[in-house]
Structure 1
Amino acid sequence: MKKIIILLLLCLQSIWPAFAQNEGFNAGQLEKEVKLNLKNAYAASVRIVNLDSNQQAVGGFFSGVVVDAEGHILTAAHAIGPNKPYLVVFPDGRRFKAKGLGVIHSIDAAMMQIVEKGKWPFAKMGWTSVLAPNVPCISISYPGSLTAKKPTIRFGYVAELKHKTGFMRSTCLMEPGDSGGPLFDLRGRVIGIHSRVSIYLTENMEVPIDNFRKYWTALTTPVVHTAFIPEDKLKMNKNEELLKPVPQMSDLIAGFKQQDSLFQKNVFTVKDSNHVSILSALVNLNGLIPTAALTGKSFFISKSSMVGPDAKVEMVDGSMIKAKVISRDEANDLVLLQIPQEINGGINLNGGTKLNMVSGTYDFDQLGSFLISPKPKVAGELSVLGNFQVSIPKSSTTYLGVGTSYNQSDYKIVVTGLYPLPVEKGNIKEDVKADDIAVKDELKKINDRFLLTTDDLPEELSKYTTNQQVTLQYAKKTGALYTKTFTLKPRYVEEDRSKDLFMDGKSRRRDNFKEVLIHDGKLKPSEFGGPLFEVNGDFYGINIARLSRTSSLTIPASVIVLFVKAVTWI
């Protein structure tokens, strides 16, 4: 009898994840579970691009995941075509050619296979049938708003096994570029493939992994399946590991209430004469600046482009104190403020015991770390570290005034919008010429660089500074080629939320950063300028911008320290 009881207990341990033990919820243990199988899942998540007849990469990128040693890759049907050639890029930089196999548009499921010899990491496939709402999950793919060559991690949970659209719904944020990317359970098994989104951040639609199992044979045949599709018989291993739902997933920040309350003491609201509101971080500059400059003062770091010359800092009691602008770092969008009042505490920027990444070095093991963005008077935002040492190049929309996209059918980079400088807004140009650049024109080159992929234009723009000139070559429908010279100047373009696919909107200044950290915090544009902490207390940096539906940007702590040290104190 005793042996039977021991065996039963061992079986239960294999079914329920460690963080659900002892009848209580351990948020810290959940973080360990998130990181446990990241490396293998990460290594199997690939970035894919179309190849033209000359084997040249063209068009935009999308995502996929390798699921066996034969090189079969699962992806989205709307991203590929049968027998078409593709380039598959692994996170370690290795590149292999692949070809499209079967496509089933009705369920947005598709497959491709690597055609070159080699060995590559792959992830095991899970089972949709063992899932339940509130089971934690992880996205590892390549959002289109980033030019990062390594995938970005996001964390969430299964919200619905079958949404009204017929897809599985998760809260792992996705956007264009993520299409075809994998959704994993905490054991590193693929449980879904990214398909589509709505304007609501909680609506991220996934192709259930059982659909790939059901139509595996059909998907290995390189055709678009439209008629009756024979189904394979599914036989799940009786020992398949189950994961227990975590009801606390919808309010994880409550599991870190103590840390959040402590971090909250370091975040304050800043307002200017135009009633623009942004957050700021209270910083302790002891040891970084002359002692005489500290007496009777407190210092804050915030987002420069949102802080005017007449800024005021809101105190805990609601009173407003006028702030003096000490220094600005336009490259990193930082501003250092000073008020004539001493406030105890603040983030120690002089190598304190809880200051992380001062050296500017990063480790893979930090990916998936739970982070907290504290807010004044309310609960903070919990997120995970998704990527680091990422540069955000200049946007053609905000620096050239030329919005772009690409046509998936022919991989052409086309003009989707033209945006004037703020001083030109509202002026009607009566002298528009037939050869002027226009919407639907095809972009061919910037200076001497051919525009073949969606990475080319922003990468080239980032080589130039504001007020320098670049030349675009573009083609009309007739095929006639023209060129036009543009001066790079910031253009603040109002976002189209239906187009950008999320309600809160992006930050106005959100690009042209040399180095940022990426996390999936669902912050509003007015909630930037404040600090970002790991749950263990390490200071990661200053939240600087909402880049897109999936990504919030943070200026690393190492850059913050250099900014303060560069200030000339008199």
Structure 2
Amino acid sequence: MKKLFAFLICLQIFKPTFAQNNSLNVEQLQAEVKQGIKQAYNASVRIIAYNSELQSGVGGNFSGVVVDKKGHILTAGHAITPNAIYLVTFPDGRQVKAKGLGVIANADAGMLVITDKGKWPTAKMGWSSILENNIPCLSIACPGSLGLNNPTVRFGYISNKLHDNGYIQNTCLMEPGDSGGPLFDLQGRVIGIHSRIRDVQEDNFETPIDVFRKYWTVLQSPQNHTAFIPEDKFSPDKKAQEKPVPEIAALSSSFKAQNSELQQTVFAVKDSVQKASILCTLVNLKGLFPESDLSGKSFFISKSSEIGEYPTIEVVAGKFVSAKVLNRDEKNDLALLEVSMEINGGVALQSINTDSVSFEEVGNFLISPQPQKEGIMSVLGNRFLAIPKSPAAFLGLGVNFNTDTHKITVTAIYHEWTNGKAENIKKGENDIQIGDVLTRINNEPILTVDGLSKELSKHDIDQSVSLQYTKKSGNTLTKDVVLKHYYVAPSTSVDHFIEGKSQRRDNFKEALVHDGKLNPTDCGGPLYGINGKFYGINIARFSRTTSLAMPTKVIVQFVKESKIIL
């Protein structure tokens, strides 16, 4: 049983909207998505267990949504304990405490109530019984992999209004940390609460909102309800029923005109030795360098960590030409490439607007064009984010918050990544091992995985941190650990999706987040809005829910600091 859990024309940066290929009005749909976000975003919260003694949140986060002025929060039953105290963070950064109320385990329904005084943004509750397949929906929750206080938006549709497991199935990507987060219709009404996933990305399941309506009274009692549970009576408002959008299951087919044009800026690139193929983006450097330096050449940007010393680029189908690496930006994982032939077009970097992305752009539809095939659709889920160092990639330690012991436990040991291969370093008996508990870093308590990552991000490669850890024997040891690069092998059981993450995917000062279902080999290509706006270059598949892109201002700065060699 599966686990639940592009020779070329020059692009303008801003263009009129492309013609659609069917009856679906994509601009209207995008406007409705953004209106739904506006209605629902502020009520979507991040939740973490609260340690009264330390006066701090501890462990891993989950999500929820505030649904009334009394401060009742709906969440997943598996995430809370009745009467336990939790720290709730609103998108604006305000933090309040809440108490766990009722739990109905077999429906995975749970409720909390805010105990601090104040006024809260709320979201309206919808009705799940009047849902239909192909109704658009939004997830606004806090993926655990990002470790952010503000939620991230994902877009999808109802694929099974009532799965045989009793849950709503939909295509909004979820992952651990999203548990308890709300699923909204485009009116911003809660129609489900995130419950569980499987390894297939389309398998995301929600507790129907009608479960909470049915057991509203019972859920206000702080206990685990397992016996006979009295039900509240309610009738759905059929006037509130949303209309299905049959075309939504093949939304990318609505953008054939965009795909045909944008496709001309994306190419396959591979190393002539390693034979690894990813993508690269054709860029036009006119205005940034003297014309004489550019004559007879073409330039591309791609993902540095996947580009060796001898790259080749597929300039036409089946024809690869040798490329030269002009510059690398290891901090942002970018490489500038040159080929000795002139290809017209590309992304005109001189005319790009490099201003910050505004919150109003969250929910915009995006396209990641692919060579010789349909592009990948997504929505902008968040603005510029810092992606900290992960313990796995820089300490060689897989860690997790153990919900039974409430401690940060080592779950995996990874090998050092040296000269393109993993080197197995022999460990001593007192070295950190699987099952050990991490207690302090640089003499500060380790309370969350997020906190550990943020502390690591204060240090560069080859610098050391002091780690305190407790062995299974009970002995507490302290060791200075040097930050290095470690190879983290893909693991479906850990990543929670079959396609897997990019090997280099963190330690970025700025990145854009979207929910494109990229494979690691899809990175290095461009990311556009449906109006042709160039948002940046896809740099990593970060997690089950998230792909990352280097924004335009980073791209332009990197190119300006590079040297074009005659």
Check conservation: 1:78, 1:108, Cα contact below 8 A: yes
Which residue in 2 is equivalent to 1:432? 428
The separation in 1 between residues aligned to 2:383 and 2:560, in whole angstroms, is: 23
The separation in 1 between residues aligned to 2:321 and 2:133, in whole angstroms, is: 47
Which residue in 2 is equivalent to 1:385? 380
User: How far did residue 427 of structure 1 move?
Assistant: 4.9
Which residue in 2 is equivalent to 1:17? none
Which residue in 2 is equivalent to 1:166? 166
Aligned AA (2:471):
K
Describe the SS at the equivalent of 1:36: helix
- Report how many residues are paired: 540
Change (3 A) 1:210 1:510: same
Following superposition of structure 1 onto structure 2, how do residues 91-102 of structure 1 map, counting pairs within 5 Å?
Answer: 91-102=91-102
The separation in 1 between residues aligned to 2:131 and 2:189, in whole angstroms, is: 12
Which residue in 2 is equivalent to 1:299? 299
The separation in 1 between residues aligned to 2:213 and 2:317, in whole angstroms, is: 59
The separation in 2 between residues aligned to 1:457 and 1:121, in whole angstroms, is: 31
Higher deviation after alignment, 533-542 or 257-266: 257-266
User: How far did residue 428 of structure 1 move?
Assistant: 7.5
Check conservation: 1:62, 1:177, Cα contact below 8 A: yes
Q: TM-score, normalized by length of structure 1? A: 0.93
User: How far did residue 420 of structure 1 move?
Assistant: 2.3
Change (3 A) 1:564 1:425: closer
The separation in 2 between residues aligned to 1:67 and 1:315, in whole angstroms, is: 54
User: How far did residue 499 of structure 1 move?
Assistant: 2.3
Which residue in 1 is equivalent to 2:87? 87
Which residue in 2 is equivalent to 1:214? 214
Describe the SS at the equivalent of 1:230: coil
Check conservation: 1:75, 1:181, Cα contact below 8 A: yes
Which residue in 1 is equivalent to 2:403? 408
Extract structure 1 runs of 4+ deviating beyond 4 A.
423-428
The separation in 2 between residues aligned to 1:365 and 1:427, in whole angstroms, is: 48
Check conservation: 1:27, 1:256, Cα contact below 8 A: no
Following superposition of structure 1 onto structure 2, how do residues 163-562 of structure 1 map, counting pairs within 5 Å?
Answer: 163-237=163-237, 240-273=239-272, 274-351=274-351, 355-356=352-353, 358-359=354-355, 361-422=356-417, 427=424, 429=426, 432-433=428-429, 435-562=430-557
The separation in 2 between residues aligned to 1:486 and 1:249, in whole angstroms, is: 50
Describe the SS at the equivalent of 1:563: helix
User: How far did residue 37 of structure 1 move?
Assistant: 2.6
The separation in 2 between residues aligned to 1:318 and 1:409, in whole angstroms, is: 55
Q: Which runs of 5+ in 1 are unaligned?
A: 1-22
Superposed CA deviations along residues 368-427 of structure 1, whole A, max 9, x for unmatched, are 000000000000001000011111111111111111001113321011111121459575
Change (3 A) 1:428 1:506: closer
User: How far did residue 452 of structure 1 move?
Assistant: 0.7
Q: Percent identity?
A: 55
1:129 paired with 2:132, answer no
User: How far did residue 453 of structure 1 move?
Assistant: 1.5
The separation in 2 between residues aligned to 1:329 and 1:300, in whole angstroms, is: 14
Check conservation: 2:296, 2:341, Cα contact below 8 A: yes
The separation in 2 between residues aligned to 1:457 and 1:494, in whole angstroms, is: 21
The separation in 1 between residues aligned to 2:340 and 2:473, in whole angstroms, is: 65
User: How far did residue 108 of structure 1 move?
Assistant: 0.5
The separation in 2 between residues aligned to 1:150 and 1:293, in whole angstroms, is: 45
Check conservation: 1:532, 1:540, Cα contact below 8 A: yes
Describe the SS at the equivalent of 1:70: coil
Aligned AA (2:444):
R
The separation in 2 between residues aligned to 1:194 and 1:227, in whole angstroms, is: 24
Superposed CA deviations along residues 509-556 of structure 1, whole A, max 9, x for unmatched, are 001111000000001100110000000010000000000000000000
User: How far did residue 40 of structure 1 move?
Assistant: 2.7
Aligned AA (2:504):
R
Which residue in 1 is equivalent to 2:117? 117
The separation in 2 between residues aligned to 1:92 and 1:265, in whole angstroms, is: 41
User: How far did residue 568 of structure 1 move?
Assistant: 2.8
Check conservation: 1:472, 1:484, Cα contact below 8 A: yes
The separation in 2 between residues aligned to 1:427 and 1:284, in whole angstroms, is: 43
Check conservation: 1:401, 1:419, Cα contact below 8 A: yes
User: How far did residue 100 of structure 1 move?
Assistant: 0.2
Check conservation: 1:100, 1:222, Cα contact below 8 A: yes
More strand by share: 2
Describe the SS at the equivalent of 2:344: coil
Describe the SS at the equivalent of 2:316: coil
Superposed CA deviations along residues 123-147 of structure 1, whole A, max 9, x for unmatched, are 0000001110100000000001102
User: How far did residue 459 of structure 1 move?
Assistant: 0.1
Higher deviation after alignment, 136-145 or 484-493: 484-493
Aligned AA (1:501):
H
The separation in 1 between residues aligned to 2:237 and 2:158, in whole angstroms, is: 22
Check conservation: 2:415, 2:487, Cα contact below 8 A: no
Aligned AA (2:428):
V
User: How far did residue 199 of structure 1 move?
Assistant: 0.6
Higher deviation after alignment, 554-563 or 480-489: 480-489
The separation in 1 between residues aligned to 2:292 and 2:203, in whole angstroms, is: 53
Higher deviation after alignment, 248-257 or 296-305: 248-257
Aligned AA (1:288):
L
Describe the SS at the equivalent of 1:96: strand
Which residue in 1 is equivalent to 2:9? none
Higher deviation after alignment, 118-127 or 248-257: 248-257
Check conservation: 1:518, 1:554, Cα contact below 8 A: yes
Superposed CA deviations along residues 327-362 of structure 1, whole A, max 9, x for unmatched, are 0000000000000111111000002xxx34x12x12
Query: 1 or 2 for the larger relative contact order (CA 8 Å, sep ≥6)?
Result: 2
The separation in 1 between residues aligned to 2:499 and 2:450, in whole angstroms, is: 26
The separation in 1 between residues aligned to 2:94 and 2:52, in whole angstroms, is: 21
Aligned AA (1:45):
S
User: How far did residue 440 of structure 1 move?
Assistant: 1.1
Superposed CA deviations along residues 244-270 of structure 1, whole A, max 9, x for unmatched, are 111111110111111111110100000
Check conservation: 1:290, 1:569, Cα contact below 8 A: no
Higher deviation after alignment, 447-456 or 365-374: 447-456
Which residue in 1 is equivalent to 2:17? none
Describe the SS at the equivalent of 2:374: coil
Which residue in 2 is equivalent to 1:56? 56
The separation in 2 between residues aligned to 1:291 and 1:428, in whole angstroms, is: 51
Describe the SS at the equivalent of 1:265: helix
Higher deviation after alignment, 310-319 or 417-426: 417-426
Change (3 A) 1:391 1:428: closer
1:76 paired with 2:76, answer yes
Which residue in 2 is equivalent to 1:33? 32
